[in-house]
Amino acid sequence: MRRVLASPYLALLLTAAIWGSLHPVGKLALRDVQPLQLILTRVIFAGLTVFILLALQGKAGELSRELRSRPGTMAVLGFLSFFGSSGASMSALALLPASVSSLLSNVSPLFVALGVIAIERRRTPPGVILGVVIGFAGLVVVVLGEDAPGVGSMALQPVGVGLALLGSLSWALYIGASRRAMAKGHPLAVVAASSLFGGLPWALLALADGAFLELFRLPPMVWALLLYTGIVGTGLTYGLWTAALRRLSAASVAVFQYAIPFFAVILAAVLLGERITMPLIVGGVGIIAGIAITQHAARSQSRRLGRDGASCRT
């Protein structure tokens, strides 16, 4: 572990592998729990883990500072991330194969690029447009590839597809909203504070539904899966990712996010016995290629304008 922490590249590779395992492991947990229970435990344990990481750095007071000084901002970020993005993606996981769910839940950079095209007035680089077209073409192949004649008869659950894409859209909005907030405060404190606001609605729903009390009746193996998704799959990996961002350029860090869907597809086949079909491969490569082209073009323009940035998907 010391070697991993000493090398930001090893830390990023480990992070990509763990994020890739999040949907397959979550799918295993959903055999015994409700989506609401998976979402709630993920948010709670992720928030607690991030707070512990913050405390180990001697920055625990930053959490109360964020809650006192910017409660509205933290509420918006929590709604977009832990409530909207995490909730939608984990709900989609109950309706889709883990490999497909992971791919569709990680197209947020394409939505970010669309937002840049729509909002910014200057001429959009051709590479960004090309990347968006290729990425969404890959998305269509994944969604319709198993049953090409039309959406009305597609093999995938339409509601699941919609929820996965909603999760990606929510994360894209979070990326835009969180940049300024994290620049003004400690990134881990912002995440911990937003987890409180994002987790509260799920806690209330679980209490009203009786799903919260049912958690205490789950066997240890199921709890191990839930703890993994929250502590390891979300909280710990966010700490590793932000630590790497402090030591490497955003461009170097962003490259590793392209590996996440590949880990997810392989682990879904190994752990769940899911088929790796040609439409999944072709569409997945298209999505990842589109994201890579889009981000490369955006970074090239940012360097010309003297800016740099990166985003991650948890």
- pLDDT 10s digits, 74-97: 999 999 999 999 999 999 999 999
Please tell me the predicted confidence (pLDDT) of residue 121: 61
What pLDDT does residue 308 have?
A: 44
Residue 314 lies in a domain: no
Largest alpha-carbon pair distance within the chain?
58
313 within a domain of the structure (yes/no): no
What average pLDDT does the chain have?
85
Looking up tokens 């350029």, which residue turns up? 249
- Tokens 């405060």 — which residue? 185
pLDDT of residue 3: 52
> What single-letter DSSP state applies at residue 57?
T
26 belongs to a structural domain = yes
Instruction: Find all residues with CB under 8 Å of 67, minimum gap 6, and list them.
Output: 74, 193, 196
pTM for this model (two decimals): 0.86
Give Cβ neighbours of residue 223 (< 8 Å, ≥ 6 apart): none
3-state SS class at 23: helix
Residue 189 domain flag:
yes
- Residue 301: inside a domain, yes or no? yes
Point out the residues of the chain with pLDDT beneath 50.
1, 4, 150-153, 307-310
Contacts of residue 130, defined as CB under 8 A and 6 or more positions apart, other chains included, come to 293, 297
State how far the Cα of 191 lies from the Cα of 118, in Å rounded to an integer: 28
Owner of token pair 């070697």? 3
106: in domain: yes
pLDDT value, residue 122: 65
Q: What is the pLDDT of residue 92?
A: 95
In a domain, 118, yes or no: yes
| Nearest 10 degrees: Cα torsion 151, 262, 40, 37 | 70
- In the chain, the number of structural domains is 1
Using DSSP, state whether 308 is helix, strand or coil: coil
- CA 11, CA 183: separation in Å to the nearest integer? 23
Q: List the domain range (segments joined by +) for residue 212.
A: 2-305
| pLDDT one-digit tens code per residue, 213-252 | 999 999 999 999 999 999 999 999 888 877 776 676 666 6
Contacts of 61 (CB under 8 A, 6+ apart): none
Rounded Cα distance, 42 and 29, in Å:
11
Q: Is residue 265 part of a domain?
A: yes
Dist. CA 44–CA 51, nearest whole Å? 11
Where does 186-306 have alpha helices with state H?
187-209, 211-214, 220-227, 237-247, 250-255, 260-272, 278-305
CB 293 within 8 A of CB 112: no
